[in-house]
Amino acid sequence: MADAPRFGIWAAVHGSRAAHHDPDEPDDASWERNRALVLEAEALGFDSVLVAQHTMNPYDASRDQLEAWTAASALAALTTRIEIIAAIKPGLYHPVVLAKMALQIEHVSGGRFALNLVNAWNRAEFERAGLPFPAHDDRYAYGREWIGLVDRLMRGERVTFSGAHFQVEEYQLRPAGTYRPRPKIYLGGESEPARALAADHADVWFINGQPVKDVRGLIGDVARRPAANGLLRYGLSAFVIARETDAGAQAEHARLLALAQRDAALRADTRARTDTASVMFAKVDAAATRHVGTNGGTAAGLVGSYETVAARIRAFHEAGIDLFMLQFQPFEAEMRRFAEHILPRVR
């Protein structure tokens, strides 16, 4: 565990993270908005930005969707301090091509780039493009072979490999190792294959928002496994609603929950396209009427007064969370509120 927690934001790659009918939150996934959002986050003192990867909007295909890797490259050139994390679904890119892209963004950023391996849940994104979408555990087997190659290639090794999915002969990428051995590898997913893969290949394991006792149990399970890359660190996704008082925060939570009920048709359509073996969505289904936000959202409990939210962040940090990847709504205004009232309390 680091001495002080780090804080990141989710880029607005498909607009709202909570309610799509909020008059205070534009459903704006434009490059212009994301550029301004990330530059402001850096200026406010946030440490990281996660750019989620979807080729089409996962909730409504008629809406805009920011492309993760081209946007990450542009953000790397525009920023000076913040870490740029781009999500990647292995089934969309050959490992040689992706490793080369990662090294280029690492070079553009001056050593501030990371990739976040996710093994995908949206069947339509693949099937409508004629791409294979294997069963859950088979996707993780594919992802394991894929990230093993990407890791070695990002280190600049000369790679020859023959596996179940890839054949690579005498491949070496340059430049490599300019700033550090390779870009960081983040990994999301809470299934048993995801936990094993995190221990074997990740630098940081992302956990979806949930109560601190559950997070402590997840960390305990993975921490008991030998970590191939040294000390494994842990990140948590969370949706923050902070106000002067607990009652004020709960009232805002209730407002967002009520607005989110108008998204029921969108959620049902998304769920119909989701792999039924996804651990994240099984938890979402169980708590859909009580929480807002994606990837666990307010289930992490960062809803309350400034002191309450700061205390819960400290509890998660004591349980082992190093990086908090945060969502807000309306995003820009609530991000500023967090920077003004929460960051000073926990730093």
Q: For residue 342, what are the CA distances in angstroms to 6, 77, 270, 305, 337?
A: 12, 29, 33, 10, 8
Distance of CA 182 to the CA centre of its chain: 19
How far is 84 from 109, CA to CA, in rounded Å?
8
Q: Are 157 and 148 in contact (CB under 8 A)?
A: no
Cα–Cα nearest to 57, from 35, 80, 78, 30: 30
Per-residue pLDDT of the chain (347 residues; tens, 9 = 90+): 558 999 999 999 998 888 888 999 988 999 999 999 999 999 999 999 999 999 998 888 888 999 999 999 999 999 999 999 999 999 999 999 999 999 999 999 999 999 999 988 888 899 999 999 999 999 999 999 999 999 999 999 999 999 999 999 999 999 999 999 999 999 999 999 999 999 999 999 999 999 999 999 999 999 999 998 889 999 999 999 999 999 999 999 999 999 998 877 777 766 766 766 666 555 555 555 689 999 999 999 999 999 999 999 999 999 999 999 999 999 999 999 999 999 999 98
Q: Are 119 and 140 in contact (CB under 8 A)?
A: yes
pLDDT of residue 62: 87
Q: What angle do CA 308, 39, 345 make, to 5 degrees?
A: 20
How far is 158 from 135, CA to CA, in rounded Å?
32
pLDDT of residue 11: 98
Q: Which residues pair with 6 in a beta bridge?
A: 323
Q: For residue 235, what are the CA distances in angstroms to 191, 270, 291?
A: 16, 25, 20
Q: For residue 149, what are the CA distances in angstroms to 73, 98, 162, 287?
A: 22, 10, 10, 37
Q: Are 216 and 246 in contact (CB under 8 A)?
A: no
Predicted TM-score (pTM) of the model is: 0.94
User: What string of DSSP letters covers 204-227?
Assistant: EEEE-S--HHHHHHHHHHHHTSPP
Which residues, 6 or more positions from 273, have their beta carbon under 8 angstroms from its beta carbon?
A: 122, 123, 124
Question: Which residue intervals of 81-211 are DSSP H helices?
Answer: 95-109, 123-127, 136-154, 192-201
Which residues, 6 or more positions from 332, have their beta carbon under 8 angstroms from its beta carbon?
A: 37, 40
